[in-house]
């Protein structure tokens, strides 16, 4: 029993801080797709698309969760497991159900400390079997501990079932077919069979078993007018592209070449191999793949982005400028692409390019101030241009995002000492300094 409780506590810890334990993957094309595919459900939930984020986490498990605020986290493994965009929409709808129903806030009623809500976690079920199977002593459970565990598990199962129903409602009201939700739950059921979980106690799970979820939801989603909506072919094509590029990025390059052999001349295969070759250190092969992509679609901003990025990282920043500039303009200054363009301008080490780098990077950080690399590049451009005050302010912004509070305070004060008093930049530096100092003071008092 101690082993079971220890494993359970570990699962809670992993759920409590999922975004910090795993790496967040940021990509302009992927974020644009998530935004477009989730918008109908977000609106149906009565939320603002401007305030809801769908964030990609590098983790090969099939999972998604919310952990506070209006952010849905999706594992890269879930993207690879999904067959189409509609299946991912079903997952997002479920997670929006958790947000709309206030489950993260209410989680404290079921367990302390509060945990994030998980779409699917086999960890607890497998941990319970591991604790019970082959261990006679684990079968003797203390009645009080068993009752407490049962109460908690019942609480989470109710939340999951409620989120399923709310998610189905958002799909219906957003005019999005629920076929993807059902087909993805079938995948989860197959996973349960794969791990031999079909005969486990349903009362010892955090989630309703997937077959139960399918049976409960099927009639409801099938009755929706959106059930027979034809697949969105444009959305599916975009999904296949990001699925391919993601595979090329996260998988070993040999696995990518096996899945997308050079005989495959599709756009998806070129995309995956471009990332695989680049990651494996074959710049010429990566360049050939990006050339093929641009030849197929000369005005595609994301193909231009990957071409420019590979040239930049291969030590050819001057050659990277043209494709990156075009990609930036075609996406109306997408912050991530604009940041890469600004980086390339700086990397040329041509002083004539620094004013343009500052202009582009200011736009990028104004549109997305939650990007430490963008602030770092802007600070570098200011420093190279001799504007040490604003270089210090950019360093303060970067440090506050990366949790380096002491450095943020120091940089903010350096900026205040050299900026015109009461200017907008000076006021921003003052805000960072005051907020950071308050945080440092609070930490001191807790010691």
Fold match between 2-222 and 252-446?
A: no
Q: Give the position of tokens 């409590």.
A: 16
pLDDT at residue 47, rounded to an integer:
94
pLDDT at residue 142, rounded to an integer:
38
CA distance 160 to 116: 12
pLDDT at residue 105, rounded to an integer:
53
Report pLDDT digits (tens) over 198-215: 444 333 344 444 566 777
Which of the following CATH numbers is that of domain 252-446: 1.25.40.10, 3.60.21.10, 1.10.3210.10, 3.30.540.10?
A: 1.25.40.10
Average pLDDT score, the chain: 82
pLDDT at residue 358, rounded to an integer:
98
Tell me: pLDDT of 316 over 60.
yes
Q: What is the DSSP string of 207-236?
A: S--HHHHHHHHHHHHHTSTTTTPPP-HHHH
* Domain boundaries of the chain, sorted by first residue: 2-222, 252-446
362 in Cβ contact with 391 (< 8 Å): no
Q: How many CA atoms lie within 13 A of 142 on its CB side?
A: 8
pLDDT at residue 193, rounded to an integer:
59
Fold annotation for 2-222? Zincin-like (3.30.2010)
pLDDT at residue 165, rounded to an integer:
86
**pTM to 2 decimal places:** 0.81
Least confident of 25-39, 101-115, 165-179: 101-115
């Amino acid at each position: 029993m101690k082993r079971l409780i220890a494993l359970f506590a570990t699962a809670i810890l992993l759920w409590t801080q999922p975004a910090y334990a795993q790496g967040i993957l940021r990509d302009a094309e992927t974020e644009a797709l998530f935004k477009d595919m989730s918008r109908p459900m977000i609106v149906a939930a009565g939320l603002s698309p401007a305030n809801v984020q769908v964030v990609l986490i590098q983790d090969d498990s099939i999972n998604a969760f919310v952990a506070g605020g209006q952010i849905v986290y999706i594992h890269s493994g879930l993207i690879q497991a999904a067959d189409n965009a509609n299946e991912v929409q079903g997952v997002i709808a479920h997670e929006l159900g958790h947000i709309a129903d206030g489950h993260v806030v209410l989680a404290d009623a079921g367990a302390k400390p509060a945990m994030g809500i998980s779409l699917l976690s086999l960890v607890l079920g497998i941990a319970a079997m591991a604790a019970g199977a082959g261990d006679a002593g684990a079968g003797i459970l203390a009645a009080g501990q068993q009752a407490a565990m049962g109460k908690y598990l019942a609480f989470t199962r109710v939340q999951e079932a409620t989120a399923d129903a709310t998610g189905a409602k958002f799909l219906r009201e957003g005019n999005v077919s629920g076929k993807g939700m059902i087909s993805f739950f079938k995948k989860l059921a197959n996973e349960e069979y794969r791990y031999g979980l079909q005969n486990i106690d349903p009362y010892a799970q955090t989630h309703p078993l997937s077959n139960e979820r399918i049976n409960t939801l099927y009639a409801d989603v099938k009755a929706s007018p959106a059930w027979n909506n034809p697949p969105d072919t444009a959305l599916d094509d975009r999904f296949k592209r990001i699925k391919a590029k993601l595979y090329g990025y996260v998988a070993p390059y040999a696995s990518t070449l096996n899945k997308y052999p050079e005989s495959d001349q599709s756009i998806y295969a070129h995309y995956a191999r471009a990332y695989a070759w680049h990651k494996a250190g074959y710049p010429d092969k990566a360049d050939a793949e990006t050339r093929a992509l641009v030849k197929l679609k000369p005005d595609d901003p994301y193909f231009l982005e990957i071409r420019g990025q590979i040239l930049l990282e291969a030590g050819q920043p001057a050659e990277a400028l043209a494709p990156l500039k075009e990609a930036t303009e075609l996406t109306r200054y997408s912050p991530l692409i604009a940041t890469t363009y600004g980086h390339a301008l700086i990397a040329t080490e041509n002083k004539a390019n620094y004013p343009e780098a500052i202009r582009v990077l200011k736009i990028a950080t104004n549109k997305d101030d939650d990007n430490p690399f963008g602030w770092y590049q802007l600070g570098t451009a200011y420093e190279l241009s001799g504007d040490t005050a604003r270089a210090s302010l950019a360093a303060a912004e970067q440090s506050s995002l990366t949790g380096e509070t002491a450095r943020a305070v120091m940089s903010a004060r350096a900026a205040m000492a050299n900026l015109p008093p009461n200017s907008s930049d000076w006021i921003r530096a003052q805000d960072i300094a005051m907020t950071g100092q308050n945080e440092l003071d609070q930490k001191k008092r807790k010691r």
